[in-house]
Amino acid sequence: MSVEAAALDDATLVARSRDGDMRAYELLVRRYQGQMYRLALRVVGSAGDAEDVVQDVFLTAWRRLGQLNDDAAFVGWLYRTATNRCLNVLRQRRPVADVELDEQPSVAPRERPERAVEVSAQMDALAVALRALTPEQRACWVLREVHGRSYDEIAGAIGTTQQAVRGRLARARAQLAEVMAPWR
């Protein structure tokens, strides 16, 4: 893509995509696939499932672009679609896969080995704690704490009210704080 095409806003790219411009849609996919993958990975806990979710989300979005009333709302629409797809994946499977180890932050080689072990254990404990949350609580927590989405955006993505989002977040935070207390 040219520098000019990369500077186009989402609404313009969505409008062009709706008119059949594959390059415009390809740019949208490249622009947002990383965010959607990180969301899916944190919610479903499996790299393979996260990849499937992201692929499904972008195929669904392409097929349903004509249904999007506000071109500027594309990103919120993607988050809502991805979150719903993640929740469906979690509902379909009960035993939850472990979080991929390569997604955990690497420790600088200059750090003490004891610190690297401690950080790895903390990340493992967080992964276990996240899996213990309900799918809706996990989705709310990931959207808010990892992706920085507003309560309104989360409510739209999950299909609930802001009040329900606040309640789920409060319960998720309390549960995570309790489980992670030994790491303070």
In tens, the pLDDT along 100-113 reads 444 545 544 556 77
Asked if pLDDT for residue 57 goes beyond 80, the answer is yes
Q: With contact defined as beta carbons under 8 Å apart, do 10 and 74 qualify? A: yes
Cβ count near 172 (within 10 Å): 24
Q: What is the mean pLDDT of the chain?
A: 83
- DSSP character at residue 111: S
Closest CA to 25 of 10, 37, 38: 10
pTM of the model: 0.66
Q: Of the segments 49-53, 118-122, 139-143, which one has the largest average pLDDT value?
A: 49-53
Residue keyed to tokens 């955006």? 153
Residue 6 has pLDDT above 80, yes or no: no
DSSP state of 64: T
* pLDDT for the residue numbered 40: 93
